[in-house]
Amino acid sequence: GDSVTQMEGPVTLSEEAFLTINCTYTATGYPSLFWYVQYPGEGLQLLLKATKADDKGSNKGFEATYRKETTSFHLEKGSVQVSDSAVYFCALTLSFGNEKLTFGTGTRLTIIP
């Protein structure tokens, strides 16, 4: 079946450090890929997405490129801030309407000043 494997946390970085959170997937077709973020006390929010191979999603300084050859969608940010502390979820869907997401386990990121 379809699945998402992401980097186990927790991850702790200093402010302004470079961030990479790895995500790889297994899917029977050609999925759309997502990164969601959950800040403390809030619901998951869509951070970025990519719908086809070689697409790059970006938002708030975060980027992820859809790599079909390596079945990956790694999340990166060049300089993290304390406000980026949150749980990050990689997800995919094969459904047209973007529902029925398959999620990874989530990676807790803590940025220290």
Partner 1 sequence: GAVVSQHPSRVICKSGTSVKIECRSLDFQATTMFWYRQFPKQSLMLMATSNEGSKATYEQGVEKDKFLINHASLTLSTLTVTSAHPEDSSFYICSVLGTGRGGELFFGEGSRLTVL
User: In the complex, which residues of this chain contact partner 1 (CB under 8 A)?
Assistant: 4, 36, 38, 41-46, 89, 97-106
At 4, the amino acid letter reads: V
Partners of 107 in beta bridges = 88
CB of 34 within 8 A of CB of 94?
Answer: no
Query: Residue 20 or 45: which CB sits closer to partner 1?
Result: 45
Query: Residue 29 or 113: which CB sits closer to partner 1?
Result: 29
Tell me the closest approach of the beta carbon of residue 34 to partner 1, in angstroms: 9
Q: Is 37 exposed, middle or buried (0-12, 13-18, 19+ CB in 10 A)?
A: buried
Query: Residue 12 or 95: which CB sits closer to partner 1?
Result: 95
Tell me the closest approach of the beta carbon of residue 36 to partner 1, in angstroms: 8
Q: Tell me phi and psi for residue 84, to 5 degrees.
A: -85, -5
Tell me the closest approach of the beta carbon of residue 85 to partner 1, in angstroms: 16
Tell me the closest approach of the beta carbon of residue 18 to partner 1, in angstroms: 26
The rounded distance, in Å, linking the Cα atoms of 102 and 27 is: 10
Query: Residue 83 or 105: which CB sits closer to partner 1?
Result: 105
